[in-house]
Each structure stands twice: as structure tokens, then as C-alpha cells.
Structure 1
Amino acid sequence: MIKAVIFDLDGLLIDSEIVSYKIYKEILNQFGHSFSIEEYAQNFSGKTEVKNVANLIDTYNLPWTVEVGLDNVLKVEDKFINEGIDLKTGVKKLLTYLKDNNLKIAIASSSTRDRALTILRQHNIVEYFDEFVFGNEVEKGKPNPDIFLKACDKISVNPEECLVLEDSESGIQAAYSANIPVICIPDMKVPNQYYLNMTKAVLSSLEEVIYYL
């Protein structure tokens, strides 16, 4: 019996993949480079900011260290966050259903706490969540299981009684390694079949999770 649901954030609760694409596109345009949504989906979607910035620097020969690149990405991202990042379809409907049925709700995200809570507060949904775990609060991030195991511990629910909702390969692997059932709701990039085989289901929207439960 499922007693708790643990959400990823980026690409799952919030439509941040398209924002990441716009950030990288804006930065590359400053250096005279074009950048397509197809290239983003193929080479950047679902990966950490550090890996993506390193990839941008290497691929486009940008005159930055990774640290400088991250600072520049965050400056552009702040603008988009202030403008607002959309929720994915079905978020509030699913959260309301979980609360009405007394399930614990947590977020386990590679994001930073300040960034995540700022976005969630913009949509007035912080109060739905019982606990949060962020990337800098665990020793090893996804695809290691630490972040999900810590979330289980914080909500006092056994891993096998939780359900993880993820969109990325690294998140699926992390949940699977933690022995937590995981459902994939793909975002811009559909995970490789190797990872989809680790899931209990692949759904097209968060609303469909209600019928799975």
C-alpha cells in the first residue's frame, strides 16, 4: 500500500526544461551561436547544471571556467524565475488528491532549496509538501539513491511504501537503487528503454497518477 509520494521538481512538477533551453539559447546567442530545441533535447535534457555548463563550454568553446559559466547561467535564470515558471499539467489536482487521501508528500530534487521554494511559493503549493530534500543536503546526488532514502526517512515511511515520480534517467535509477517503486512521466526527453524497464509505469501526465493509485 502506498503511503507517500516523492516528487522530483524540474521537468516533473515545473516546466523548467523549456526554461533551461531558453537560458542556454540566450547565452549562446551572445557569442553568436544558434541553439535548437532539438539539440537541447538530445544533449542537455535531464542532466545536471554542472554537466550542461561544462558541455556548453566544451562544445561552443566559451571563454569560461565551469564556475564562471554557472554564475552566468544563474543570473539569466533569476530573470526567468522572476517572470514565473509554469507548473506542469495536473500538479494541483494530484497534490489535492494526495492530501485528501492523507498520503505524505515530499520533494527530492537536485535543485537548491532557495530556488525551489521561490518557484513553489509563486504557485502557492509549498504547503502541500510535508518534507523537502535538496541536492546539497546529501553526499551523493542522483543517480545514487541517497536523496530518496533521506526523503523516506524524513517522512517516516519505508521505501517500499513510497512512490517516486520522475522524468529523468538519473532520477529513475536513483529510485530503483533505493528500492522505491517509480513512475516515469517523461518531459522533453523520453528516457532510454533500459531505464523505463525499472519503472512500474510510464504515464503521460501527473493527472494519470491518480488512477494508478
Structure 2
Amino acid sequence: MKFFDKNIDIVIFDMDGTIFDTERLAIKLYIEASQLLGTPLGLDILEKSIGLNAVATEKLMKETYGEDYPYGKVKEKFLQLKFAHIDQFGLPIKEGVKEVFRKLRENNVPMALATSTDRDLTEKYLGISGLNKYFQVIVCGNEVAKSKPEPEIFLKAVDLLGSEASKCIVLEDSENGLLAASRAGTIPVLIKDIKYPADKVRKLAFREYESMIDIINCFEF
């Protein structure tokens, strides 16, 4: 497959903010959970945590609010609120995702999911949405030693698919994700979500798009 002047063997997707429109919901519900528990949690810290796995998020919050910050309790309350919301309203899939997935599968392009979300929650999301059938490989945040922005999660996905990083597109929405994709030697592509990365990180993207639907005609098979 060609993507502009690049020869591509595989495509790797981030999940939250790229496939599912869940980053806005997560920020809203994390703030609600912290308020219910009477613990501080600012928007700036939540935005910094986008793309981090649970271990890195806990580290960030304790560095900010102190070692006694009850991250486990806040996360537990957040998940309760999140599951209740999903049970009532469903899981929002971002525009163009299904079309891109179908196009790649029709042309036998292997796909991987590399998400900072833990395995249990990832499988719940994919099961609810019916998107699990598209991925040959899934790597989750609790299955790597180092979170994004380190490259480990993408390197592991590339290795499991038996390809090379230089022949891999990574679709990401977050600053941490773009940094990880670039450090892995893949071809980072930015899909806009709630917060643009800083300019110096945004420049790492080979291309950027407002929506996943905008990328579908850029593939040549």
C-alpha cells in the first residue's frame, strides 16, 4: 500500500480520541469523580495525562498533588461513572473509523491497536463496538514497561505483526502518542481531537487530518 510517497505494510491505531470519542468524556467524568471524593484534579493535569497508561497517570497525579493523592479511589469512581454512561448512551465511534477499517481490511492490510488503556477495558470497548474483528494484534498499556511517550508499545505491535517500523503508519490524536510513534521510527499521522499537541510535537506528524474520514482516499492499493 502507498501513503503518499511511503510504502506501507501495516497500520497501527491508538484507541481513545482516535477510534472512540472518549477523551472529552474521560475528562468530564474524572473531574466529576474527584469532586464527589473531595480531591483536587485540574483540567491541565488531565490534558497532560492524555495518552498515558494508568501507571504513568498515577505518577503524574502524585507528583502534582502529593504521594497521598488517592488515585486508586478516583479511578475507581471514574470507571463507575464511565460504565454507567456507556450503558446508558453507548460508546461513541469517531467519524470515518468504520469506513477506514473496512477499506483496509478489504485490501488485506494488517491492523494493530496500541492503546494506553488496560486490557480489560480495551476488550470491553471493542466488544461493545464490534470493532475487535479488525485487529490482528492488540497491545495495551498494562502490557508494556514504559508508557507513551516512550516507543515500546508501538515497537511491540510492529514486532508482533512481523513488519518494520519504517513501513508502519500510526494514527494518533495525542502529544504523548505522536512522540511515541516518532521515537519508534514509524510514520506518525495526527487525527485531531480535543487538544492539539504543542507545535514542536505536531511537526513530527507526517500528515494531519481533522477527521479519520479525510484519510481514506489517501491510500493507494
TM exceeding 0.5: yes
TM norm structure 1 = 0.86
Identity %: 31
User: Contact between 2:51 and 2:116, CA under 8 Å: does it hold in 1?
Assistant: no
CA change 1:140–1:51 in 2 (3 A) is closer
Amino acid at match of 1:67: G
- 2:46 — aligned with what? 44
3-state secondary structure, aligned to 1:44:
helix
- 1:70 — aligned with what? 75
User: Contact between 1:6 and 1:164, CA under 8 Å: does it hold in 2?
Assistant: yes
User: Contact between 1:50 and 1:70, CA under 8 Å: does it hold in 2?
Assistant: no
After the TM superposition, list the runs of 4 or more consecutive aligned residues in structure 1 that deviate by more than 4 angstroms.
31-35, 49-59
- 2:4 — aligned with what? none
Residues 125-181 of structure 1 deviation map (CA, whole Å, 9 limit, x = unaligned): 110111100011111111111100100011111111110000011110111011000
- 1:117 — aligned with what? 123
* CA RMSD after TM alignment: 2.5
1:192 aligns with 2:198: yes
User: Contact between 1:81 and 1:119, CA under 8 Å: does it hold in 2?
Assistant: no
3-state secondary structure, aligned to 2:204:
coil
Alignment counterpart, residue 6 of structure 1, candidates 5, 12, 15:
12
Give unpaired runs (5+ residues) of structure 1.
Answer: none
User: Contact between 1:57 and 1:64, CA under 8 Å: does it hold in 2?
Assistant: no
Structure 2: how far apart are the matches of 1:57 and 1:19? 24
User: Contact between 2:14 and 2:115, CA under 8 Å: does it hold in 1?
Assistant: yes
Amino acid at match of 2:21: D
User: Contact between 2:34 and 2:74, CA under 8 Å: does it hold in 1?
Assistant: no
Give unpaired runs (5+ residues) of structure 2.
Answer: 1-6
Of 90-99 and 121-130, more deviation after overlay is shown by 121-130
Amino acid at match of 2:187: P
How many correspondences in the alignment? Answer: 207
